[in-house]
Amino acid sequence: PGKRKWQSLPLSAYRPDEELLAEIRSRGGEKDVLNLIIVGHVDAGKSTLMGRVLHALGQVSQKEMHKNEKQSKEQGKGSFAYAWVLDEGAEERARGVTMTVAVAHFETPQKRIILLDAPGHKDFVPNMISGASQADATILVVDATPGGFEAGMEGQGGQGGQTKEHAQLARSLGVEQLIVAVNKMDAIEYDQERFTEIQAGLVPFLRQCGFKDSAVRWLPVSGLAGENLTEPPEAKELAAWYRGPHLLAAVDSFQAPVRLVAKPLRLVVAEVFKTRTLGSAAIGGKLEGGVLKQGSKVLVMPAGEVATVKGVERNGEAVTGAAAGDSVDVGLSGIEPNVLFAGSVLCHPDYPVPTATKVEVRLLTLNIVMPLLRGASLVLHAHSAKQPVRISELVSLLDPKSGQVAKAKPRVVTKNQSAVVELVAERSICLEAYTDYRALGRIALRDSGKTVAVGIVTKILET
Ligand code: GDP
């Protein structure tokens, strides 16, 4: 108040620069970008499957594949072994948000797919969240072998099954489109009955998570044998009954996310650095809304300082502007680099991102031991930001299926429950209501290094 250097207009008042929009829309020739995550129980075959797809697309050579398989074996299981598919120089090119989570890129006829890292091991759930927080679609890999599917669903040796957990996580973070890849079909002679049985076992659960039947595609595949991945099935047993698309075609038919180009600028900073071309105050990040032009003024939040865009680079090349959906590097002038950090947001000076101190969120708790109580201290993660928060109110428990209030003012929220709670942050954090900007409204709550809940921001209560 008073001392602020910027005004704050309602989002609805924003009128984009039509000329610039037209120019961006006419860029043409470019495919829609789709961020994809692969999830599933450990050993479901995620790495093998993606390695195979990328190899088939010529993204990774046989030699590399062997070398990397060996390496990932030596490093042991747990994380996604296909960090190895990163093509050379990709790290250089894919700065910013993509750098932290992208493991590979590939193209389908209609789309450019960015594969985000989403480790299969339970301890890696946090990584999955930073991946999932930007994911547009998910492939859930399940193991079709006897006992394999069941282990993924129910868990084994005290370890919970990750099939359900991952599907639920993805859905709670707003991912709507899903492919269920029923994998290792080679090991069961491509048995249609088993495929149908697995489908029947998962459908009720996926519905409960809130996946619409029409947004879920079911594919029998074999990562190991390379069946039904990038070509129609060759195995006679499968070709005999399967009539649907192969995996790549199914991925191609995912809907590309809506890019919020006609909304005010939001650029989420993932990284701060300096380069020869962009100067000493450079950032890498993703435009989640609006457009950015060389020479324009931007408001850096939560610092509340105005800077000028000195230069913009996309895929390592200088460009005059960028639009929602693009990952870019941006050089700024008129600002000290020390007010920039991961989690800062560059915005339109008249339409600042809320710097929230109190929010209402809709959560899904994970398989937690300690229930959530009012007053609990947690760490809130959203886009590239994190901040200590306290639960100031348990507003309601929700029926997971209908989303209706099942109980108002509960005393506790226990594991695997859907709830609305209010959070208070000591220091402000850039957040948006999920309905305004999806990427700035997805959150995870962590306690002592473990994720306890994920969800979305429903209301900004105080700034
Ligand atoms: P991740 O933990 O989900 O990444 O699983 P991996 O890709 O590492 O695979 C786990 C194990 O399952 C390995 O021993 C693989 O060889 C095996 N596997 C993966 N895909 C298939 C498949 O399509 N068929 C068969 N029979 N085995 C597979």
Please give the distance, rounded to the nearest whole angstrom, from the Cα atom of residue 48 to the centre of ligand 1. 6
What would the mean pLDDT of 254-268 be, rounded to a whole number?
Answer: 90
Cα separation, 205 vs 356, in Å, equals 35
CA separation (Å) from 270 to 98, 282, 329, 377, 398? Answer: 9, 11, 10, 25, 33
Q: What is the tens place of the pLDDT at every residue in 321-342?
A: 888 888 889 999 999 999 999 8
Beta carbon of 439 within 6 Å of any ligand 1 atom = no
What would the mean pLDDT of 391-406 be, rounded to a whole number?
Answer: 89
- For residue 170, give the nearest of 143, 203, 140, 144 by alpha carbon: 140
Long-range contacts of 153-161 (CB under 8 A, 24+ apart): 153/201, 153/202, 159/122, 160/122, 160/367, 161/41
* Residue 313 pLDDT class (50, 70, 90 cuts): very high
Residue type (1 letter), 269 = V
Beta carbon of 223 within 6 Å of any ligand 1 atom = yes
Considering the chain, what percentage of its residues have pLDDT values greater than 90?
45
Residue 202 has pLDDT above 90, yes or no: yes
Cα separation, 122 vs 118, in Å, equals 11
State residue 256's pLDDT score. Answer: 85
Instruction: Evaluate the CA torsion angle 442, 444, 445, 449 in order and state its sign.
Output: negative
Please give the distance, rounded to the nearest whole angstrom, from the Cα atom of residue 152 to the centre of ligand 1. 13
Q: What is the tens place of the pLDDT at every residue in 60-104?
A: 655 565 655 555 555 443 333 333 343 333 333 333 323 334 567
Residue 262 has pLDDT above 80, yes or no: yes
For the sheet with 177-183, list strands across it: 102-107, 111-116, 32-40, 137-143, 177-183, 216-220
State residue 148's pLDDT score. Answer: 86
Q: E strand or H helix at 443, and its extent?
A: strand 442-447
Q: Identify the residue with better confidence: 105 or 351.
A: 351
Would you say how long the chain is, in residues?
A: 463
Q: What is the tens place of the pLDDT at every residue in 376-394?
A: 999 998 888 889 999 999 9
Beta strands in 165-301 (DSSP E): 177-183, 216-220, 266-275, 279-289, 291-293, 297-301
Name the burial class of residue 424, with classes exposed (0-12), middle (13-18) and buried (19+) by CB atoms within 10 angstroms of its CB. middle
Q: What is the tens place of the pLDDT at every residue in 409-445?
A: 999 999 888 899 999 998 999 999 999 998 899 888 8
Please give the distance, rounded to the nearest whole angstrom, from the Cα atom of residue 200 to the centre of ligand 1. 23
227 Cα nearest atom in ligand 1: 23
* Report for 111-125, 158-172, 396-410: range of highest mean pLDDT: 396-410
Query: Closest residue (by CA) to atom 11 of ligand 1?
Result: 43
* Residue 220 pLDDT class (50, 70, 90 cuts): very high
* Residue 451 CB contacts under 8 Å (≥ 6 apart), including other chains: 125, 126, 129, 366, 444, 445
State residue 150's pLDDT score. Answer: 84
225 Cα nearest atom in ligand 1: 23
State residue 66's pLDDT score. Answer: 60
State residue 47's pLDDT score. Answer: 78
Beta carbon of 23 within 6 Å of any ligand 1 atom = no
Please give the distance, rounded to the nearest whole angstrom, from the Cα atom of residue 43 to the centre of ligand 1. 6
Please give the distance, rounded to the nearest whole angstrom, from the Cα atom of residue 83 to the centre of ligand 1. 16
Ligand 1 site-directed mutation target among 43, 49, 66, 122, most atoms within 8 Å of CB: 43
Q: Where are the alpha helices (DSSP H) in 225-281?
A: 236-239, 247-252
State residue 203's pLDDT score. Answer: 94
pTM of the model: 0.74
Residue 129 has pLDDT above 80, yes or no: no
